[in-house]
Amino acid sequence: MTKGWASGLKAIAVAAALMMAGTAPAQNLAPAAAAAPEVVAPPAPPTPADVAATTASAAAPLDSAFAGYERMKPTPGVGMPVPQGIAVQQQFTPIGQEAKFLLEKILNPVMAFITVFVLGLMIWVIYHYRSAAVETPSTTTHNFTIEVVWTLVPALILLAIAFPSFRLLANQYDPPKADVTIKVTGYQWYWGYEYPDYGGISFDSVMLSRAEAEQNGEPYQLAVDNRIVVPAGKTVKVLITAADVLHSFAIPSFWVKMDAVPGRINETWFKVDRPGVYYGQCSELCGTKHGFMPITVEVLPEEDFKRWVRMKQQQDGIEPTGPGIVRPAAVATAADRVQAALAAARTEPAAPTPAPAAAPTA
């Protein structure tokens, strides 16, 4: 319950911050936009060269709006498997950290203890009760105390494991409200991604060749051309399906693994605070190139994520849209000025030109 309140307040704070951030540039730009037509009004009709120049300057603020996005370099050993590694990868989501703790601090020690204890007991029994050491074998078949102990002790161990295990399961299937939703589609043999919140940005993600991966400083067979990009510290809901056969969307360092089933949508989520590059792979045998459809997730600070969204929207010809995405006011104004100038050129013929020509004849 407190979690709900906290996230509610946080959402309000974020919304307020975004609204303020959104209005500030508009206010700053408004006087310039208002003053511009007065300057533009008296001069001669624009030539095509003028229009081209204005269009170019109109594009400039849009470029600067997402200048600064560049592919992030991965940190060696982080978000990827390591040579000779046998442990679970370092975890970067709350669920992953909880699960890794349960596995490494509770389950593995309990399993190791039981395995060693039972093996020792068997060796002891085999040695002490071998036929050479026992002349007359015992005929004992029941022992009430021992039977109670060997039933009760395992039951108590299972009960002790059940509590943290069910808590983890509940947390896993009770995600916080999603900030970003991504639709993932598995294909033979690549992944397709869609961002419905941001005007339906969509792209395919294909594995890089060895040369391309090495050139980028990325691990071969994990690096892709188009990465999933998400904001840091935000809850990302992932809707997963497949277009042909079964695939599985898996990112080990997020504790995420979910089947991609044709005709069905599965759901999972993750929240990563640390910006960085994280790798995953298809984890369901899906055909000959099953091993060649990796997943790359790039977690960016929120502002950088918005720049990436704007860049993708421009590439796809999508109007700026989505939570926190503001249409740059300068762009609208400059575009409007071009339209206005073109309209003026069409409606006003060369009317003022005869007047100065007539003056010098006198």
The angle subtended at Cα 252 by Cα 247 and Cα 253, nearest 5°, is: 145
Structure tokens at 165: 């295990």
Minimum separation from the CB atom of position 293 to Cu ion (A): 5
Distance CA 233, CA 302 (A): 8
Using CB under 5 A, pick the residue from 282, 295, 297, 338 that binds Cu ion.
282
Minimum separation from the CB atom of position 273 to Cu ion (A): 29
For Cu ion, the closer CB: 179 or 259: 259
The answer to whether 286 contacts Cu ion (rule: CB under 5 A) is yes
Minimum separation from the CB atom of position 189 to Cu ion (A): 6
Choose the binding region for Cu ion from 77-85, 201-209, 245-253, 270-278 (rule: CB under 5 A): 245-253
Question: Helices (H), strands (E): how many in the chain?
Answer: 9, 10
Task: Read off the DSSP letter of residue 104.
Answer: I
C-alpha distances in Å from residue 241, one per residue of 53, 278, 350: 46, 21, 62
Choose the binding region for Cu ion from 22-30, 156-164, 192-200, 243-251 (rule: CB under 5 A): 243-251
Query: Three-class SS of residue 319?
Result: coil
The answer to whether 247 contacts Cu ion (rule: CB under 5 A) is yes
Backbone angles phi, psi at 354, to 5 degrees: -60, -35
Minimum separation from the CB atom of position 297 to Cu ion (A): 17
For Cu ion, the closer CB: 95 or 250: 250
Element (H, E) at 205: strand 201-205
- Amino acid present at 335: A
For Cu ion, the closer CB: 226 or 321: 226
For Cu ion, the closer CB: 182 or 286: 286
For Cu ion, the closer CB: 71 or 290: 290
Choose the binding region for Cu ion from 135-143, 199-207, 274-282, 343-351 (rule: CB under 5 A): 274-282
For Cu ion, the closer CB: 54 or 248: 248
Contact at 8 Å (CB) between 36 and 333?
Answer: yes
Structure tokens at 319: 């109007």
* Residues lying near Cu ion in the complex (CB under 5 A): 247, 282, 286
